[in-house]
Amino acid sequence: MVTTPVLPSDYLDLVSPLRAGADLRGRIEAVHPETDDAATVVIRPGRGWRGHTAGQYVRIGVDVDGVRLWRAYSLTSPTDRQDGRVTITVKAIPDGKVSNHLVRRAKPGTLIQLDQATGDFVLPQAKPAKVLFLTAGSGITPVMGMLRDTEFDDVVMVHSAPQPQDVIFRDDLHALVADRKLRLTELHTDTDGMLDITRLDELVPDWAERETWACGPAGLLDAAEEHWTGRGVRERLHTERFRPAIVVTGDGGEVTFSTTGKTVDADGATPLLDVGEEAGVLMPSGCRMGICFGCVTPLKAGAVRDLRTGEITEAEPGVLIQTCVSAAAGHCAIER
Ligand SMILES: Cc1cc2nc3c(=O)[nH]c(=O)nc-3n(C[C@H](O)[C@H](O)[C@H](O)COP(=O)(O)OP(=O)(O)OC[C@H]3O[C@@H](n4cnc5c(N)ncnc54)[C@H](O)[C@@H]3O)c2cc1C
Ligand code: FES
């Protein structure tokens, strides 16, 4: 009662934001540039942090221009780091709100919100005898987490980036090669062109025998899934996507955000999450690709289309939709 309307925990948050029992938070303690447009962010998680498995990602909530935005980032630190801190490594993408903020503007001391680590892009309990990492661009991040955590008996990596100076963790990778802990094929797409997946026969002749983890742009992952399926070894390929595979679009419509009372026109390809944010509506989100359910919102009227499957969902009492992978299918209203 003494502290009403502010709760005692709000005062505690001011003096001890990382304490046990507080909403899980982290403090950015350093930002190290990796390339011109990528940086590693060192985070001290609060007391409730339960650790991670190499290859997993964490959802973080960052305030950008006064708006809390949630994004997912793979953990790049080893799981047994002695100082208890964790790292994520972020590549700034053109017009990217959070990635540019973290790479170019985030300052040590900044508090962020954290979720527990999650994700199934991880190694099995028994270390595979032969491993292939197939990565491109920022897709190297979860794999670096694995390489820093585990010594493999036989591991090959095929990594693509536009130019040598764009290769994130290049020095670390070359140090592993020098120590004979990794065989690396580094492809520079500005000069070599995009990897043609059939070149794997020449680059890694025994690729089909290897347990493979692949992470990179959709084109690479789609080609890999087809290639592994074609050879009948799809179960040996594990993929991590940073963006949803959008396969079906259709006609859009008028979208009403029933709580805020805003109505905007939307096409049938843009996720309602983006439509809402663009209209200035506060939209909860997390991974932005249909895996974390951080964006679920009641559908009050009309219909939406799942951009991954084309499935239409119509409004009924209690129906929830994932706004990050749903687009308007005609007029619709969602509770935001
Ligand atoms: C499981 C998971 C793990 C991830 N791990 C990492 C990681 O380790 N490092 C990392 O840098 N990113 C990672 N991402 C991507 C990250 O979550 C963000 O999507 C990315 O940083 C862009 O966010 P933004 O706010 O800067 O861009 P936004 O402001 O959301 O988008 C700006 C524009 O870029 C487009 N866009 C959005 N995401 C991408 C993308 N990934 N590539 C190209 N264009 C995009 C949007 O459609 C939009 O047009 C991961 C994503 C997932 C789902
Ligand atoms: S934001 Fe993760 S499922 Fe939509």
pLDDT tens per residue across span 107-135? 999 999 999 999 999 999 999 999 999 99
**What torsion do the CA atoms of 273, 277, 282, 286 make, to the nearest 10 degrees?**
50
d(CA 14, CA 148): 35
Judging by beta carbons within 10 Å of its beta carbon (0-12, 13-18, 19+), is residue 202 exposed, middle or buried? exposed
Which ligand places an atom closest to the C-alpha of 243? 1
- What tens digit of pLDDT does each residue of 164-193 get? 999 999 999 999 999 999 999 999 999 999
DSSP H or E run through 227: helix 218-230
Cβ(25)–Cβ(75) below 8 Å = no
* Per-residue confidence (pLDDT) for residue 186, from 0 to 100: 97
**Phi/psi of residue 312, nearest 5 degrees:** -95, 130
Q: What is the architecture, at CATH level 2, of domain 8-114?
A: Beta Barrel (2.40)
- For residue 171, give the nearest of 274, 40, 20, 83 by alpha carbon: 40
The highest-level CATH class for domain 253-334 is alpha beta
Per-residue DSSP letters for 15-28? H-TTSTTSPPEEEE
Tell me the mean pLDDT in the region 265-280.
94
What residue type is 249 in one-letter code? T
Question: Is the pLDDT assigned to residue 10 strictly greater than 90?
Answer: no
Q: How far is the CA of 295 from the centre of ligand 2 (A)?
A: 5
Q: Is the CB of 307 under 6 A from ligand 2?
A: no
Tell me the mean pLDDT in the region 218-230.
97
* Per-residue confidence (pLDDT) for residue 67, from 0 to 100: 84
Ligand 1, atom 7, residue with closest C-alpha:
73
Q: Is the dihedral of CA 43, 45, 51, 56 positive or negative?
A: negative
Q: Is the CB of 270 under 6 A from ligand 1?
A: no
Q: Which atom of ligand 2 approaches the CA of 324 most closely?
A: 4
Q: Is the CB of 239 under 6 A from ligand 1?
A: no
For the record, the structure tokens of 300 come out as 């009050």
Kindly report the CATH number that applies to the domain delimited by 131-240.
Answer: 3.40.50.80
* Per-residue confidence (pLDDT) for residue 262, from 0 to 100: 96
Largest CA-CA distance found in the chain, in angstroms, rounded: 73
More confident position, 176 or 17: 176
Ligand 1, atom 10, residue with closest C-alpha:
90
DSSP H or E run through 177: helix 170-178
Ligand 1, atom 4, residue with closest C-alpha:
73
pLDDT grade for 249, boundaries at 50, 70 and 90:
confident
* Per-residue confidence (pLDDT) for residue 248, from 0 to 100: 82
Question: Is the pLDDT assigned to residue 219 strictly greater than 80?
Answer: yes
Q: Position of tokens 């997390």?
A: 286
Ligand 1, atom 39, residue with closest C-alpha:
243
d(CA 267, CA 329): 9
Q: In this prediction, what percent of the chain has a pLDDT beyond 90?
A: 85
Q: How far is the CA of 240 from the centre of ligand 2 (A)?
A: 15
Question: Is the pLDDT assigned to residue 271 strictly greater than 60?
Answer: yes
Q: Is the CB of 119 under 6 A from ligand 2?
A: no
Cβ(271)–Cβ(283) below 8 Å = no
Cα 287 from chain centre = 6
Cβ(224)–Cβ(217) below 8 Å = no
pLDDT grade for 18, boundaries at 50, 70 and 90:
low
Q: Which atom of ligand 1 approaches the CA of 102 most closely?
A: 26
Q: Is the CB of 295 under 6 A from ligand 2?
A: yes
For the record, the structure tokens of 24 come out as 């899980």
Tell me the mean pLDDT in the region 220-239.
97
Q: Which atom of ligand 2 approaches the CA of 59 most closely?
A: 2
- Within the chain, which residue ranges are assigned CATH 3.10.20.30? 253-334
End-to-end CA distance of the chain: 32
- What tens digit of pLDDT does each residue of 33-83 get? 999 999 999 999 999 999 999 999 999 999 998 888 899 999 999 999 999
- What tens digit of pLDDT does each residue of 203-215 get? 999 999 999 999 9
* Per-residue confidence (pLDDT) for residue 303, from 0 to 100: 96
Backbone φ/ψ region at 162: left (φ over 0), alpha (ψ -120 to 50), beta = alpha
Question: Is the pLDDT assigned to residue 244 strictly greater than 90?
Answer: no
- What tens digit of pLDDT does each residue of 276-299 get? 999 999 999 988 999 889 899 999
Radius of gyration, CA atoms only, the chain: 22
Considering the entire predicted model, what is its pTM?
A: 0.90
Q: How far is the CA of 43 from the centre of ligand 1 (A)?
A: 19
- The rounded mean pLDDT for the chain is 93
What residue type is 221 in one-letter code? L
Mutation probe of ligand 2 site: the residue of 241, 292, 336 with most atoms within 8 A of C-beta: 292
More confident position, 290 or 248: 290
SS (H, E, C) 257-317: ECCCCEEEEEEECCCHHHHHHHCCCCCCCCCCCCCCCCCEEEEEEEEEEECCCCCEEECCC
Tell me the mean pLDDT in the region 261-273.
96
Q: Is the CB of 324 under 6 A from ligand 2?
A: yes
Distance set, CA 111 to CA 14, 16, 48, 227, 277 (Å):
11, 11, 15, 43, 23
- What tens digit of pLDDT does each residue of 99-109 get? 999 999 999 99
Q: Is the CB of 243 under 6 A from ligand 1?
A: yes
pLDDT grade for 21, boundaries at 50, 70 and 90:
low
- Within the chain, which residue ranges are assigned CATH 2.40.30.10? 8-114
pLDDT grade for 11, boundaries at 50, 70 and 90:
low
